Amino acid sequence: MFALLYDMEKEDIKNTVKQIFTEYLRINGHRKTSERYAILDAIYSIKGHFSMEALHDQLLNEEHFRVSRATLYNTIELLLDAKLVIKHQFGNSSQYERCYKMETHHHLICTECGQVTELPNNDLQRIIASSPMKRFQMSHYTLYIYGTCRKCINAKKRKQLKKNK
């Protein structure tokens, strides 16, 4: 039952972003192509952040929809502009994330293994949003906290112990 409700909500969001995107395309004189809607749908089916490759795979394997990389990059650009997607740059390749109705969260990035986890913190969010900024109109922000995750802390400890034996 709860799962069903959750799925309905997810479909709601998908429909809403589709409407927002349609409106965006209309205002900016862009065409409504099946590729663009397929890409938007795929993105809003992915839970966390994703790379271009992952998005391409999602489309191909889950939605059985093949698009060229050119179109992918093209469409992401529109979605960024429409504020439906946000771009990150941890690691070596760009990472993207859907951002409509997403809870605010920050990113913990392990410099040992590259794992990215999310850290919700509303207080921090509020403070940053109300931070005084002269001569600058803020649209969004990203906070990346680098360090060592539990797993890698333990791995390091084991390594150290072994060395001292």
Partner DNA sequence: GTCAGTGCAAACTTTTTGCAACTAC
Partner DNA sequence: GTAGTTGCAAAAAGTTTGCACTGAC
Q: Are 73 and 56 in contact (CB under 8 A)?
A: no
**Among the candidate windows 24-32, 44-52, 53-61, 133-141, which touches its own copies by CB under 8 A?**
133-141
Rounded to the nearest angstrom, the gap between the alpha carbon of residue 119 and the centroid of all alpha carbons in its chain is 14
Residues in the chain, total: 165
Q: Among 73, 141, 144, 146, indicate the residue that binds DNA (CB under 7 A).
A: 73
Name which of 33, 41, 36 is nearest 17 in CA terms.
Answer: 41
Name which of 110, 99, 103 is nearest 139 in CA terms.
Answer: 99
Residue 32 contacts DNA per CB under 7 A: yes
CA pair distance 37, 59, nearest whole angstrom: 11
Q: Among 45, 51, 121, 148, indicate the residue that binds DNA (CB under 7 A).
A: 51
CA pair distance 21, 87, nearest whole angstrom: 17
For its own copies, the closer of residues 42 and 85 by Cβ is 85
Residue 131 contacts its own copies per CB under 8 A: yes
* Lookup: tokens for 152: 């890698």
Task: Give the total of residues touching its own copies (CB under 8 A).
Answer: 31
Q: Are 40 and 23 in contact (CB under 8 A)?
A: no
Residue 150 contacts its own copies per CB under 8 A: yes
Using CB under 8 A as the binding rule, the residues of this chain from 28 to 47 that contact its own copies are none
Shortest approach of DNA to residue 121 CB, angstroms?
A: 27
Q: Using CB under 7 A as the criterion, which residues of the chain lie in contact with DNA when the complex forms?
A: 25, 29-36, 51-53, 66-71, 73-75, 92-94
Q: Using CB under 8 A as the criterion, which residues of the chain lie in contact with its own copies when the complex forms?
A: 89-90, 108, 110-111, 117, 119, 121, 123-124, 127-128, 131, 133, 135-150, 153
